[in-house]
Every structure is written in structure tokens, then in C-alpha cells.
């Protein structure tokens, strides 16, 4: 049987061919998809990284007016034991109109921290010590007039000069757009300890 007679006998059925091509393309894409998804997923943070997610901080050594920084998920978390005088500055900064977002309307903190203290317990500020501008680590500057003559205490970023009050609310004139982020945490005042559990998903770190 020569090739020509064969061709006449089996004239190409174009519809059938198109259907088969489409079938192969779709099923091939499905197969590729089922393997690409696990492949990309395998580059996600591992379960081991997730297991390191929480950090417990002991509050006992932190005396009034002092602060401590702990490492949580490769990020510095600052805990400040604020004195009544320091808490009083929070009203003052708001009244003077120094703040971009005095009422914390931007969800930079969990709902239970949406107050002027930006904390669960007024004395204890727990927040991520990362400047909202470009991810630098601001300095803690609690002394009055230590950054500028009008300075009431707060955080000052060494990179681009962003300023925050003692609740880490950003001060007008700073390049940083928002208040510094507060993670989700639990505080146990009997055991005097803080457990930082996870990032507040709506908060914008930097």
C-alpha cells in the first residue's frame, strides 16, 4: 500500500483533530498546574519557620520607664513600661495636633489596641520597632527635648528622621505614612508576661 492511497482513505478529519488538540492542551495545562502549585508552595515559609512564630517576653525585669527589645520572627519587638508621666504625653501630642493619625484609624494595630495607648494595658506598650517608612529601626528617645526642643518623648528614626510619640504614633512632618505596627499579642498581668502571637494581617509594616 503506497502512502498516497493511504492519504485518500484517511482524509484528515479537521474537527476531530481540533477537538483532540484542545483536549491535549487542556489536560496538559491541568497536569502542569497540579505540579506547579506544589512546586511554588514548597518555597513558602516552612512549618518549622511557622513553629518559631511566637515569642514569650518576661516583663518582670522591665522597670517603669525602661524598655526591652526581643526578637520575634526576625523582627525587633519593643516592650515599654510607661510611667504615668509618659502616658500623660500621649494626650499632649494629640492636643497639640502633632500627629498624623491620633485616633489610630488606620488599622496598624489589632482592634483591641485601637486606643491612644495602642496597647491592651495602658502602661505596657508592645509594638514592632520598625519604621513605617523604609524598614529602619528607630531609636527609643524617651527624654523630653532630646530630639527637638518640643520633643515629648518617643521614637526617632536614624535613616530619614521619622518621628513617633511614645505610642509609636507618627508625628506630622515625618516621611513615614502610618503609625508603627502593633502585632497581635496576649498579656498576662499575673505572670507578668507577653506572648507575641502573629502579625496583625491588616497592619502595614513598612
Grid cell digits, residue 94: 494629640
Q: Looking at beta carbons only, is 27 or 103 nearer to another protein?
A: 27
- Rounded Cα distance between 65 and 63, Å, is 6
Grid cell digits, residue 52: 518559631
Quickly list H helices, 60-188: 84-95
Report the first-to-last Cα separation within the chain, whole angstroms: 75
Q: How far is the CB of 203 from another protein (least distance, A)?
A: 25
Q: How far is the CB of 43 from another protein (least distance, A)?
A: 6
DSSP annotation string for 130-157: --TTTS--PEEE-STTSSSTT--SEEE-
CB 139 within 8 A of CB 158: yes
Q: How far is the CB of 102 from another protein (least distance, A)?
A: 42
Q: Looking at beta carbons only, is 43 or 71 nearer to another protein?
A: 43
Q: Looking at beta carbons only, is 6 or 60 nearer to another protein?
A: 6
Q: Which residues bind another protein (CB under 8 A)?
A: 1, 6, 24, 28, 31, 38-39, 41-44, 46-49, 51
Q: Looking at beta carbons only, is 38 or 97 nearer to another protein?
A: 38
Q: How far is the CB of 24 from another protein (least distance, A)?
A: 7
Q: Looking at beta carbons only, is 33 or 97 nearer to another protein?
A: 33
- The residues, any chain, with a CB within 8 Å of residue 41's CB and separated by 6 or more, are none
Q: How far is the CB of 15 from another protein (least distance, A)?
A: 18
Specify the DSSP class assigned to residue 119. S
Amino acid at each position: 500500500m503506497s502512502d498516497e492511497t493511504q492519504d485518500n482513505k484517511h482524509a484528515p478529519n479537521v474537527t476531530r483533530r481540533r477537538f483532540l488538540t484542545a483536549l491535549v492542551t487542556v489536560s496538559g495545562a491541568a497536569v502542569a498546574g497540579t505540579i506547579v502549585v506544589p512546586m511554588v508552595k514548597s518555597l513558602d515559609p516552612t512549618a518549622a519557620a511557622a513553629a518559631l512564630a511566637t515569642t514569650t517576653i518576661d516583663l518582670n525585669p522591665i522597670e517603669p520607664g525602661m524598655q526591652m527589645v526581643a526578637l520575634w520572627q526576625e523582627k525587633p519587638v519593643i516592650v515599654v513600661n510607661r510611667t504615668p508621666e509618659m502616658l500623660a504625653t500621649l494626650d499632649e501630642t494629640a492636643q497639640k495636633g502633632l500627629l498624623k493619625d491620633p485616633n489610630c484609624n488606620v488599622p496598624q494595630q489589632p482592634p483591641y489596641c485601637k486606643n491612644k495607648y495602642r496597647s491592651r494595658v495602658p502602661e505596657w506598650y508592645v509594638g514592632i520597632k520598625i519604621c513605617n517608612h523604609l524598614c529602619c529601626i528607630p531609636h527609643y528617645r524617651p527624654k523630653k527635648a532630646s530630639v527637638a526642643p518640643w520633643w515629648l518623648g518617643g521614637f526617632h528614626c536614624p535613616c530619614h528622621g521619622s518621628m513617633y510619640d511614645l505610642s509609636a504614633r507618627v508625628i506630622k512632618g515625618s516621611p513615614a505614612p502610618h503609625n508603627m505596627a502593633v502585632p497581635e499579642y496576649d498579656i498576662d498581668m499575673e505572670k507578668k508576661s507577653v506572648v507575641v502571637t502573629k502579625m496583625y494581617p491588616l497592619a502595614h509594616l513598612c
